[in-house]
Structure 1
Amino acid sequence: MCKKKKSTDAIDPKPSSRNIRTARSSAHTDISSASRSGTNPSYPSATPPGTGTGTDFSNKTSSSKASTSSSHVSLASLQDSLPENPHIYSFSEIRSATNNFLSKKISSSSSAWHCSIRGKDVAIIQRKLRHSSNASDHVRHRLSLICKSHHSTVIKLLGASLSSSDYIYLVYEFIPGANLANCLRNPKNPNFTVISTWISRMQIAADLAHGLEYIHHYTGIDLQIVHNHIKSSSIIITDPSLNAKICNFGAAELTGEFAGEEIAEVEGTRGYMAPEFLAAGIVSQKSDVFAFGVVILELLSGEEPVRYRLDQTKNDYKKISLIETAKDAIESGLIRRWIDRRLKDSFPEDVAEKVTRVALDCVHVEPDKRPDMRRAAGKISKLFLESKAWSEKMKIPTEFTVSMAPR
């Protein structure tokens, strides 16, 4: 259980970059880097620098003050990055924040609103509760566990409203950006993509892999956590860094979409549903791995998981599966033709083939033959490093400043 705090306001999970820059101890470790790697941050040494022979007392005192100040900054940054107890919002707060649900939705296809509540910039998401009984007790217990989780590539759940018997309102921190599907496929300009370099796509793949690895294995929750909604439209790409953040963490667990490994009346998303889901309605961490593999194939090709093409000879539409086209590209040795043409042929072909093979392993028809996310994330990380080495060799810049604004 999380330790209770006197304040009812949420703590901003992001460390203060301004404070970090003022830290003068060479032993200080950036908290955000520690969060990304999943390791514990290092603390600055209490021993002041410059205390050797020939240093007078005034220098020692000055150095000691600097070290103490640095320690205070580091501890403050660490405190800012720590999770806290979940907020329980009243239904009247949710209704007021969303202007009685008349505020503009984040997207036309979802019940989600960008608004402010208790001084925080948030996204409020409405989801239907599927618990048959003791819904409030179930949600409160799960909420206390999920809200203490924190990772730089997972959008933080701040709390929820439990006032409605039919719906739950989940309150997440708001992250500016655009979803991955829109970044890859701009309907107004099919020839343009924000993610126009190989390195930017591999960075997104690595972020997604490590975020899902954290959800499955490192939350510290004694549960088999399943995200259950991994798809390109539920991944936010931040502007301008082009990092990926996973939306809706904890939503499936809190709404009671499944109990154990049995899924209960959940609609899947076309193209991302694992075969065992389609056949028997079974969901597990391996079904998340399947959806992850599909997203990686999207990143590589720029195409939708499933699309339809008019077959003029039969005067009918033919279904085209991204998984099948990827398999054909590997088998025929035509991977370069299959990779998104908007990358302008600027990518390491051998690495692209390896990434495609990792993705195809993830979408294996048999769940037991798919890797777990620890193994998949390890492979993606290695291939990301190979991609960086390639870009440095080719003198291609790895850092970009871009805008997602319309061209």
Structure 2
Amino acid sequence: LIPMDKEQLTTMVQGTLGYLDPEYYNTGLLNEKSDVYSFGVVLMELLSGQKALCFERPQYSKHLVSYLASAIKENRLHEIIDGKMLTEDNKMEIKEVARIAVECTRLMGEERPKMKEVAAELEGLRVTKDKHKWSDQYPEETEQLVGVQILSARGCCTTDYDSIKNVATLHIEAGLRGILTFQTNMVAKCTSNSTIHKHNCSDPSTCRNKDGGFYCKCRSGYRLDTTNMSCKRKDFGWATILLGTTIGFLSVLLVISSVQQRRKQKKNTKLRQQFFTRNGGGMLIQRLSGAGLSNVDFKIITEEAMKGASNGYDKRNILGQGGQGTVYKGILPDNSIVAIKKSRLVDRSQMAQFINEVLVLSQINHRNVVKLLGCCLETEVPLLVYEFVTNGTLSDHLHGSMSDSSLTWEQRLRIAVEIAGSLAYLHSSASIPIIHRDVKTANILLDENLTAKVADFGASSLIPMDKDQLITMVQGTVGYLDPEYYNTGLLNEKSDVYSFGVVLMELLSGQKALCFDRSQQSKHLGSYFASAMKENRLHEVIDDKVINENNWREIEEAARVAMECTRVTGEERPLMKEVAAKLEGLRVARTKHQWSDQYHNETENLISVEILSAQENTSSSGYDSINNVARLHIKAGR
């Protein structure tokens, strides 16, 4: 939804390949013109009968948009239009519709028409084709149905005007303030205003005349008897009956309310059971026990426990919100603090895959991956329960509320090594390879020791053992999204490598992956970084907080790794385990062992050699500390 005070939103890129607005993909800015682009593609499908994206067509015409645009430009539109509907009579209309489709799919959103303008043009085409079948019929008959009647406010009489077909001009007198009605209606107003001149009022009453009636007042304990206009003592028997009736009525209401409450609870229980079954609860239990995983530290938690843990999903407990859903802080009955992820939606057709992913993630036990502790399947959308990580996200520390913490170069390099290692584990060492698909600084959590933990597997996909890649709907965050994945829809581990490269650039520069304050050609951090390296001005991009003379070589090498990760073609990027090895090598090389060259003479003095003879269990040959000999020789027989 677009708020009333805004014309566009910045969101995580979502959509279907072939229909996705290229401007939305490049900027992440979503507005109504994105729908206009997608509608233009649909209109082209209606005209041509062909798919929006077809890999069987030549390279330049895989996308229907470019295919139709080139056909119009070369005056061969008739080759693309579906032969089933093309006739001599509708050529002009089809050509006009094709023009509208091309206008809708212009690259720049501001050059596209609004959706209401498109609708008006298409409706105009349809209306001019077929006039209304009764547009000019029965003009006189409709006039005969009209009549006017005025009720005067000054008397009892009415003034009638005949049907307007008998008069050239209908004139109603200005002095008549009345009510216009249909002839079959009747309007009446009755008033009565009389005065009671005399009544016998007896004690203990007090009566007064009023305009249009009278007023009587009785003392406390008395009531007015209107038959003889006198006050009589109140009879409290009726009050007792009324009180008893009220109590009885309230008792019945209480019983009915109790019954309804029980029915509601029963209905809710049944609904929770339905959700549990629909969300694959039975399948999950079966798979857990079948795989011998019943003792795994993974819990299936009830909805009641989830509501209690999050205080009814209180807004004050929200830790974060994103394209995949909302994360709440929660406290379970055993007082453990957790993070509860409530997804926005779930694809019912992919429920078996969801259960499979839950199973795989529950078995991942890596120090740099957020642990999945359990799930709740009794709600409309499944809830996932993760370990709670206390120190915010990497994005918070680089760009947000915690940016004053000033991460050192040593800390940033270690964080990069930890992220790379965890992704390499997911790609190569998990029981089923996992592609995260949304690697970004906002999805990297840091604990109290600034240890990195990869989180938010809402967009992740499992790669079957017999495949290297999947064809999926494009998902990810603009600025981190692999361009090859966007263009082809083919997802593999190199898509995570690209996203990690952008994260590494953020660690090096301290700048956001996408920034509209930078110039047009450098809005994307990837292109900004690449141009800086090409022009030998990398020092302008690197964060001043981390750069010094001692670490410049390491920073240059890390920047080179980031560039390799973000190459346009996936096959030219390194594997994640190769990236992890390079960065780990940098970290190890920068910190030699703290006692490697210290106390050289003293450490030698500590060394002595003792050899136990293999032939005699009780005898041994000893050699003095090597500082007493120029050369240490051990007999070959020993």
SS in 2 for 1:178: coil
Instruction: After superposition, give the CA deviation of every residue in 1:175-203 in whole Å (9 maximum; x if it has no partner).
Output: 1111111101136x9xx542432101101
Which of the residues 124, 130, 137 maps onto 2:340?
Answer: 124
Question: 2:171 aligned with 1:171, yes or no?
Answer: no
Q: Find the aligned partners of 2:341 and 2:525 in 1 and give their Cα distance.
A: 30
Question: 2:363 aligned with 1:160, yes or no?
Answer: no
Q: Find the aligned partners of 1:391 and 1:295 in 2 and give their Cα distance.
A: 30
Which of the residues 319, 326, 329 maps onto 1:106?
Answer: 319
Mark the CA change 1:212 to 1:381 in structure 2 (over 3 Å): closer, same or farther: same
Q: Find the aligned partners of 1:278 and 1:117 in 2 and give their Cα distance.
A: 40
Instruction: After superposition, give the CA deviation of every residue in 1:378-401 in whole Å (9 maximum; x if it has no partner).
Output: 0010111233249999xxxxxxxx
Is the CA contact 2:445–2:454 (under 8 Å) kept in the aligned structure 1? yes
Mark the CA change 1:90 to 1:347 in structure 2 (over 3 Å): closer, same or farther: farther
1:94: which partner in 2? 306
After superposition, where does 1:2-401 map in structure 2 within 5 Å? 2-5=292-295, 84-103=296-315, 104-107=317-320, 109=322, 111-119=326-334, 120-133=336-349, 135=351, 137-165=352-380, 167-186=381-400, 193-219=404-430, 221=431, 223-239=432-448, 241-249=449-457, 252-253=460-461, 261-264=470-473, 266=475, 268-309=476-517, 320-343=523-546, 345=548, 347-389=550-592
Q: CA deviation at 1:116?
A: 1.3
Partner AA of 1:342 in structure 2: K
The CA RMSD measured in Å over matched residues stands at: 2.8
Q: CA deviation at 1:114?
A: 0.9
Is the CA contact 2:509–2:543 (under 8 Å) kept in the aligned structure 1? yes
Q: CA deviation at 1:100?
A: 1.8
With the length of structure 1 as denominator, give the TM-score of the two structures. 0.66
Q: CA deviation at 1:305?
A: 0.9
With the length of structure 2 as denominator, give the TM-score of the two structures. 0.43
1:404: which partner in 2? none
Instruction: After superposition, give the CA deviation of every residue in 1:313-332 in whole Å (9 maximum; x if it has no partner).
Output: xxxx6652211222223223
Mark the CA change 1:390 to 1:294 in structure 2 (over 3 Å): closer, same or farther: farther
Q: Find the aligned partners of 1:271 and 1:99 in 2 and give their Cα distance.
A: 35
**Rg comparison, structure with higher value:** 2
Q: Find the aligned partners of 1:339 and 1:310 in 2 and give their Cα distance.
A: 15
Instruction: After superposition, give the CA deviation of every residue in 1:224-250 in whole Å (9 maximum; x if it has no partner).
Output: 3111121000101222x2221111247
SS in 1 for 2:318: coil
Instruction: After superposition, give the CA deviation of every residue in 1:312-360 in whole Å (9 maximum; x if it has no partner).
Output: xxxxx66522112222232232223321012253651111111111111
| Regions of 4+ moved over 6 Å | 390-393
Partner AA of 2:528 in structure 1: T
Mark the CA change 1:91 to 1:253 in structure 2 (over 3 Å): closer, same or farther: farther
Q: Find the aligned partners of 1:326 and 1:376 in 2 and give their Cα distance.
A: 18
Is the CA contact 2:326–2:344 (under 8 Å) kept in the aligned structure 1? no
SS in 1 for 2:517: strand
Partner AA of 2:349 in structure 1: S
Is the CA contact 1:261–1:282 (under 8 Å) kept in the aligned structure 2? yes
Q: Find the aligned partners of 1:364 and 1:390 in 2 and give their Cα distance.
A: 35
Mark the CA change 1:185 to 1:354 in structure 2 (over 3 Å): closer, same or farther: same
Q: CA deviation at 1:158?
A: 0.9
Instruction: After superposition, give the CA deviation of every residue in 1:204-237 in whole Å (9 maximum; x if it has no partner).
Output: 1111111111111112x1x331111210001012
Q: Which structure 2 residue ranges, 5 or more long, are not aligned?
A: 1-290, 463-467, 597-638
Percent identity at matched positions?
A: 26
Partner AA of 2:395 in structure 1: A
Number of residues of Structure 1 aligned to a counterpart in Structure 2 = 297
